[in-house]
Structure 1
Amino acid sequence: MPAFWTEPDFDEHELVHFVHDRASGLTAIIALHSTHLGPGAGGTRFWHYGDPGGAMRDALRLSRGMSYKNAMAGLPMGGGKAVILAGADKAKTPAMLAAFGDAIEGLGGRYITAEDVGINEADMVAVAQRTSYVTGLPSTDSDSAGGDPGPFTAKGVFLGIEAAVAHKLGRSLEGVHVAVQGTGSVGGGAARLLAEAGARLTLADVDAARAKALADELGAEVVASDSIMDVACDVFSPNALGAILDDAGIARLRAPIVAGGANNQLARAHHGPMLAERGVLYAPDYVINGGGIIAVALEYLARRDGKPCDIAEVHAKVAEVPVRLRAIWREAEETGNSPDRVADAMAQRLIGR
């Protein structure tokens, strides 16, 4: 694995912590980008990497993205991320989760974890047996937030798409054609909300059966996962893994708007301006997908203070996502900078960079 300080995604991270527990087989990376606003908060990803260097790149990029995301969401949290390197069989054991919990506890509260790709509520409950620095735990009270933050992320993505369509196309979602890449918790949740609002949907997922089931439910069309970026539509909504907006991906786009919940959608720094040059309105990913971290952060802060997390407060804060997007787009138009660079500059000022 290459030294992290030689990685192009190393951005003066405060901490890059390697974890290896021989007894359980755990190998993980915990990256803290900034704790300027508070403890680094961000989920744990459980993924098999053919090249271990990919795990380092994910940890660095995702933790930086969490610094920006938490700052732009107005949360008293810094940015952190953990990556557990899964084996080819993606086996996950109680001993592995216990060792991971011990590693988080050893950081003394500098990092707060939650669900991400490959990690679910039950995993967080297991980790919580070893450390209190965990959130995304299930709630037994219908008026309190807790558990899977995916529905809140999906709601923010839906609101962001609605704002983007109004800003770029000057219309409501009725009859708007949205191509949704990824139909899991976030993409699927956003798709349901879009369908309720009258949008026409084309869906794709690497799990073709899942995409077809959702399409049957919503009366949507389905295409193969490798052709969704070629669909002529009003909005392309990426909700799977990141780095899809590279030179080749952007050249394939046939949509005037890109707005979705995937993290790190831009493969490299020049791809945001490239979208702008093509006249594509981009919703910066860490702004539009902030609903999930809003939910788990408010949950953690409420639990820390010994009180339930008011779900109405979470919904109110998620409703601010389009307000921030509109401010970014206005400044981009006024300055001639691309929306991603406007958002980055805003976030960097907030975290003192």
Structure 2
Amino acid sequence: MGHEQVVFCHDEPTGLRAIIAIHNTTLGPALGGTRMWPYASEEEALIDVLRLSRGMTYKAAISGLNLGGGKAVIIGDPEKLKNEAFMRRFGRFVDSLGGRYITAEDVNMKTRDMEYIHMETDYVTGIPQSMGGSGDPSPVTAYGVYMGMKAAAKFVFGTDSLANRKIAVQGVGQVGMYLVQRLVKEGATVFITDINQDKLQKVASETGAKVVAPDEIYDLDVDIYAPCALGATLNDDTIPRLKASIVAGGANNQLKDEHKHGYMLIDRGITYAPDFLINAGGLINVGAEYYGPYNSDKAHADAEKIYDTTLEILNMASEDGINTQEAAMKIAERRIAAIGRIKLPY
């Protein structure tokens, strides 16, 4: 995948096992979140962090940010392992890279965790607003997904209104929750699922969204399917089951195979809003914090531009006869190549 650096982190006293992957720093230092997950093996974690960090390179490039692509994964159960010493030890590993990698929140990470990391390094974003940071980036991520979804609706249905549209949201973590709130507010009929039953019932109670079983989400007769959990949910098994006209969600690496499943969606007549494009709001937000001074209104305004970029990508893919993921990657690669001619990697 062309990575510049992969670092395996291990600390016996705290039980920390992590991998930091730096994909490309042509545009600037690699900024990307840290996720914690009980991976079945180190190999599974490595595959995930390599794919995620590569996606961050494209996400930064297509968003016009002067940032490179990186990501970190921590192996283990966050409920059992996370504490102050654990996160601060991870912060020291981040600091040892001298600014080539800047971390932020991702799955199973909270603002408090970023605060612990910040005790050991300046190379962290998403720290509390009380400390001069931008806080939780999830609301801006969800706003970008919402803008990308509306653009896809405009392309497919001729109007970007989501009122009375039926939308299936898979995963109601921080991003999924904020997205559901926006969709319900606009008047959409929303179906939700998640493996965390407590979170699922809480979001359903607060928004009126309808709860469905995890596997049932693929079979619903809806207009839009929004994957907002882990990746690779668009695959040989699920794509034939989809009845949606649009796929637009906040999850990373939604296509298990970018080429094969990108074209499988086309064959099914389903429009795909590239994940690394429409979920870039969080990166836009923490990037604004890193380069500072942070301004929430400016971050939201920049995330709103995802609407126009999504329409550009969808039209380009249609005109060129390629899938939307490839169209988005072409634009991102073009910018990286152009800037690469005038500067060295960070």
TM exceeds 0.5? yes
Quote the residue 2:38 is aligned against: 48
Which residues in structure 2 correspond to 1:107-146 (within 5 Å)? 107-140=97-130, 146=134
Quote the residue 1:293 is aligned against: 283
1:70 to 57, 60, 75: 60
**Number of residue-to-residue matches in the alignment:** 336
Q: Residue type of the partner of 2:233?
A: I
1:229 to 218, 223, 227: 218
1:254 to 236, 243, 246: 243
Q: Output the TM-score relative to the length of structure 2.
A: 0.94
Quote the residue 2:269 is aligned against: 279
For residue 202 of structure 1, report the CA deviation from its aligned partner.
Answer: 1.1
Q: Residue type of the partner of 1:86?
A: G
Distance 2:134 2:287 in 1: 10
Distance 2:152 2:77 in 1: 40
Quote the residue 2:147 is aligned against: 159
Contact kept in structure 1, 2:37 and 2:108, CA below 8 Å:
yes
Q: 3-state SS of the aligned residue for 2:146?
A: helix
- Listed as ranges, the gaps of 5+ residues in structure 1 are 1-10, 303-307
Contact kept in structure 2, 1:26 and 1:96, CA below 8 Å:
yes
Q: 3-state SS of the aligned residue for 2:52?
A: helix
2:317 to 323, 332, 353: 332
Q: Residue type of the partner of 1:70?
A: A
Relative to structure 1, is the Cα distance of residues 328 and 145 closer, same or farther in structure 2, using a 3 angstrom cutoff? farther
Aligned CA-pair RMSD: 1.5
Distance 1:166 1:85 in 2: 40
1:30 to 20, 41, 46: 20
Fraction of identical pairs, as percent: 46
Cα deviation 1:162-194 (Å, max 9, x = unaligned):
111111012321111101111111111111101
- Listed as ranges, the gaps of 5+ residues in structure 2 are 341-346
Cα deviation 1:46-89 (Å, max 9, x = unaligned):
11111221100111000000000011111110000011111596
Say yes or no: does 1:347 pair with 2:335. Answer: no
Relative to structure 1, is the Cα distance of residues 313 and 145 closer, same or farther in structure 2, using a 3 angstrom cutoff? farther
Quote the residue 1:5 is aligned against: none
Quote the residue 2:344 is aligned against: none
Q: 3-state SS of the aligned residue for 2:65?
A: coil
Cα deviation 1:182-232 (Å, max 9, x = unaligned):
111111111110111111111111123322332233232211112111101
Q: Residue type of the partner of 2:32?
A: G
Contact kept in structure 2, 1:156 and 1:288, CA below 8 Å:
yes
Distance 2:257 2:144 in 1: 24
Quote the residue 1:3 is aligned against: none
Q: 3-state SS of the aligned residue for 2:237?
A: helix
Distance 1:299 1:46 in 2: 23
Q: Residue type of the partner of 1:101?
A: G
